[in-house]
Amino acid sequence: MKGDTLGPSYVIQMYNPKHDVWAVTVIDNIGRGPGKGGIRMTGTVGVEEVSRLARAMTLKCAMADLPFGGAKSGIMVDPKTISKEAKREIVVWFGEQLRMYAPKYYISAPDINMAEEEMRWFVEGHGDPKAITGKPKDLGGLPHELGSTGFGVAHSAKMALEFKGIPVQGATIAIEGYGNVGVFAHKFLEEMGAKIVAVSDSRGGVYDPQGLKHAELSKTKETKGTVTAHDKGEKIEGKKIFELDVDVLIPAALPDVINYSNVENVKAKIIVEGANISIVPDLVEPLHTRGVLIIPDFVANAGGVISSYAEHMGYDEKKMFELVREKIEKSVNAMLERSKATGQILRQAAEAIALERLA
């Protein structure tokens, strides 16, 4: 993003000598307010990934018409390789490091491997609960465990199906990733009448053309740690989920999962990006040319940051969900209308709207 007028405004790199761990925060743009974006903790996250995610947050907040800029953080360690106490120490340390930037320039939130408990640890280190959202209720939070992101993804999928003329009732859905986003997208889409036929996690996937029930599969995931332990359906390789003939594919975990190795085998009619940067950028237009409708990440998964805004404003759960539905519907409709009027693909149309708001 060298020479880019949007940002980044700050790139903050930090090192913890005790645990030999690096971390980075990229505050991409603060034109509309403090940069907003979560913290992910993985063994593969780096500056480039965090920078791309921060830019997605800039566009997401502008598209949702929120008084936030965009930012993101990454802590470069696989939490499965360290103890819980070591993880707590690292997150507390990370909160301490950001005292001079948050909440004036940055307000953080949960992301991969970082949930409500970790937000408490961040506050322990930082000292100001206003520097982070998605924290426990006793700290004034609206935890992301309420499912706001998955709720927004489900509504985005519903609107995409309606736009394509596919009945939501009985529509077939495949979900890559069964963390917070995937679990709640499953729940809310099932309540709308859609049929979730495949789900995957880091260990593999499960496929059942008759449909996988949310209550049963989420219990399997909670008790056994993986959807592959489910006693119903066919076990499949995780990568096969991108090749299933379904109405809607929801990538809801890792970046760049739709890439040069599998793009030709994608059969879904609609892709709803539950995860950020889930499609290699150069492949969005070829998929569109093939007739695949793609609801981009910064539109589809904005429910989490909208929930963060609701928490920031002191709203309750009911008002938060109403706000998520209202803003997601407005964003998707505005994007569809712009695309229809200009001939732009959906991502280009949404980016144009977001950039106008940033200007």
Q: What is the helix (H) or strand (E) element at residue 25, kind and residue range?
A: strand 21-29
What pLDDT was estimated at residue 7? 84
Mean pLDDT of 344-352: 95
Tens digits of residue pLDDT in 125-140: 999 999 999 999 899 9
CATH number at residue 49: 3.40.50.10860
Q: How far is CA 325 from CA 173, 306, 321, in A?
A: 20, 10, 6
Handedness of CA 69, 74, 79, 83 (dihedral sign): negative
Residue 205 lies in a domain: yes
pTM for this model (two decimals): 0.86
On whether both 291 and 175 belong to a single domain, the answer is yes
72 is catalytic: yes
On whether both 93 and 77 belong to a single domain, the answer is yes
Handedness of CA 31, 37, 41, 43 (dihedral sign): negative
Alpha helices, DSSP H only, in the chain?
47-63, 84-97, 116-126, 148-164, 180-192, 214-224, 284-289, 297-300, 303-313, 317-342, 346-358
Instruction: Give the structural domain span for 245.
Output: 148-300
* Lookup: tokens for 175: 């979900």
On whether both 295 and 314 belong to a single domain, the answer is no
Residue 1 lies in a domain: no
Mean pLDDT of 180-187: 96
Sequence-distant contacts of 254-262: CB under 8 A, at least 24 apart: 254/176, 254/177, 254/278, 255/49, 255/52, 255/53, 256/280, 257/176, 258/283, 258/287, 259/283
Instruction: Please give, one letter per residue, the 3-state secondary structure of 332-359.
Output: HHHHHHHHHHHCCCHHHHHHHHHHHHHC
Parallel, antiparallel or unpaired: strands 234-236 and 106-107: unpaired
Residue 2 lies in a domain: no
Query: Which amino acid is residue 124, in one-letter code?
Result: E
* Residue where the block lists tokens 């056994």: 224
Tens digits of residue pLDDT in 234-290: 999 999 999 999 999 999 998 899 999 999 999 999 999 999 899 999 999 999 999
Helix then strand count (H, E) for the chain reads: 11, 13
Number of domains in the chain: 3
On whether both 135 and 116 belong to a single domain, the answer is yes
Using alpha carbons only, how large is the chain's radius of gyration in Å? 19
Read off the pLDDT band of 143 (50, 70, 90).
low
CATH number at residue 199: 3.40.50.720
On whether both 156 and 274 belong to a single domain, the answer is yes
What pLDDT was estimated at residue 279? 97
Choosing from 141, 163, 183, the residue where a domain stops is 141
Residue 91 lies in a domain: yes
How confident is the prediction for the chain on average, in pLDDT?
95
Distance separating alpha carbons of residues 251 and 324, to the nearest angstrom: 20
What pLDDT was estimated at residue 359? 82
* Residue where the block lists tokens 């099932």: 190
What pLDDT was estimated at residue 1? 55
What pLDDT was estimated at residue 2? 55
Mean pLDDT of 10-38: 97
Choosing from 265, 300, 335, the residue where a domain stops is 300
On whether both 321 and 282 belong to a single domain, the answer is no
On whether both 248 and 348 belong to a single domain, the answer is no
Q: State how far Cα 245 lies from the chain centre.
A: 24
* Residue where the block lists tokens 């394509």: 164
What pLDDT was estimated at residue 62? 96
Residue 110 vs residue 171, higher pLDDT: 171
Read off the pLDDT band of 208 (50, 70, 90).
very high
Instruction: Please count the CA atoms within 13 angstroms of the CA of 264 that sit on its side-chain side.
Output: 2
Mean pLDDT of 33-50: 96
On whether both 171 and 253 belong to a single domain, the answer is yes
User: Is residue 14 over pLDDT 70?
Assistant: yes
Parallel, antiparallel or unpaired: strands 172-176 and 106-107: unpaired
Residue 63 lies in a domain: no
On whether both 162 and 177 belong to a single domain, the answer is yes
Residue 48 lies in a domain: yes
Residue 264: Cβ within 10 Å count: 10
Residue 166 lies in a domain: yes
On whether both 199 and 184 belong to a single domain, the answer is yes
Read off the pLDDT band of 145 (50, 70, 90).
low
Choosing from 300, 319, 337, the residue where a domain stops is 300
Catalytic residue among 36, 60, 72, 187: 72
Read off the pLDDT band of 5 (50, 70, 90).
confident
Q: What are phi and psi of 294, to 5 degrees?
A: -115, 115
Residue 288 lies in a domain: yes
Read off the pLDDT band of 58 (50, 70, 90).
very high
Beta-bridge mates of residue 176: 200, 251
Report the share of the chain in percent with pLDDT over 90: 92
On whether both 191 and 136 belong to a single domain, the answer is no
On whether both 157 and 295 belong to a single domain, the answer is yes
Residue 357: Cβ within 10 Å count: 15
Mean pLDDT of 299-319: 93
Exposed, middle or buried by CB within 10 Å (0-12, 13-18, 19+), for 140?
middle
